[in-house]
């Protein structure tokens, strides 16, 4: 899903064009004086330079934008992390799946896909980042902290993967604590529809794998597609987060 026609960052070359994709959305905590359910939505997005007839994507920025559903208004676009045009943004800064957990922080998730370097990180890694849950902080890149495995650090190089058994080609995280399911992460593990679902009580984990599966091909019989439906309400709810909007190469 496109958030806007393209990024303001230069993107040149035959057939090249800038593009932005939504990487997550979350309802902001409502202030006490605001009626429940009337708060704004925080939308995360990533900027890319698309080249070679869409065969190559260079991630160049991550940003946030607020949407006020009551007035149908978007705030100004704010790029939090960006890089020199043409250079890849570090995966620790290419973020999405915003989550407010009620502890005063905004959490965002990123990943380095499975594959050989420089495009991948071997089996892949999943990162979580936090900042204070107020616009003055989440719009300031200097306030972001990375989970290191035993604490939080402002150094992106210290970011530690949340799960050793992950093989991410894409991720999407949602908060289902109100439904008794905690945090749920859907991890795309292949370009052929493979996925894993993880569950945790807090963004830093520990994350517990609760299912591994394969999305049926589009031409599969309807009975086969129905057979993939999981009766657990936790997984059915988590499937709603796997919209594939978090990364443009995600296979629905």
Q: d(Cα 163, Cα 147) in Å, to the nearest integer?
A: 12
pLDDT at 123 over 50: yes
- Establish if 210 belongs to a structural domain: yes
pTM of the model: 0.79
Q: What is the pLDDT averaged over residues 22-41?
A: 72
219 pLDDT tier (thresholds 50, 70, 90): low
In a domain, 185, yes or no: yes
Domain count, the chain: 1
Work out the average pLDDT over 38-67.
Answer: 84
**What is the total residue count of the chain?**
252
Residue 245 lies in a domain: no
pLDDT at position 62 is 94
| Residue 1 is assigned to a structural domain of this protein | no
Residue 252 lies in a domain: no
In a domain, 33, yes or no: no
- Could you tell me if residue 200 is inside a domain? yes
Chain mean pLDDT for the chain: 78
Residue numbers of the domain that contains 191: 17-27+38-239
Per the model's pLDDT, the better-predicted residue between 79 and 215 turns out to be 79
Cα separation, 86 vs 105, in Å, equals: 32
SS3 72: coil
The arithmetic mean of pLDDT across residues 225-235, rounded, is 36
50-58: average pLDDT:
72
pLDDT grade for 239, boundaries at 50, 70 and 90: very low
At residue 118, the pLDDT reads 63
Say what percent of the chain tops pLDDT 70: 72
Position 113 in a domain: yes
């Amino acid at each position: 899903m496109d958030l806007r026609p393209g990024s303001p960052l230069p993107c040149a070359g035959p057939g090249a064009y800038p593009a932005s994709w939504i990487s997550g959305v979350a309802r902001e905590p409502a202030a006490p004086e605001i009626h429940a359910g009337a708060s704004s939505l925080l939308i995360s997005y990533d900027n890319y330079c698309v080249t070679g007839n869409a065969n190559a994507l260079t991630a160049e920025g991550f940003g946030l934008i607020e949407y006020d559903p009551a007035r149908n208004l978007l705030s100004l676009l704010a790029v939090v992390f960006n890089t020199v045009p043409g250079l890849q943004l570090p995966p620790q800064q290419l973020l999405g799946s915003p989550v407010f957990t009620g502890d005063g922080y905004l959490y965002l998730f990123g990943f380095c896909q499975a594959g050989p370097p420089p495009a991948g990180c071997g089996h892949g890694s999943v990162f979580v980042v936090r900042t204070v849950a107020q616009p003055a902080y989440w719009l300031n890149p200097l306030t972001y902290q990375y989970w290191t495995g035993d604490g939080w650090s402002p150094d992106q190089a210290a970011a530690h993967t949340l799960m050793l058994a992950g093989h991410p080609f894409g991720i999407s995280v949602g908060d289902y604590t109100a439904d008794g399911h905690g945090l749920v992460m859907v991890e795309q593990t292949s370009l052929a529809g493979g996925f894993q679902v993880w569950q945790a009580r807090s963004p830093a984990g520990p994350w517990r794998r609760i299912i591994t599966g394969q999305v049926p091909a589009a031409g599969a019989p309807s009975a086969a597609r129905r057979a993939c439906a999981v009766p657990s309400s936790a997984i059915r709810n988590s499937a709603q987060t796997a919209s594939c909007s978090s990364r443009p190469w995600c296979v629905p």
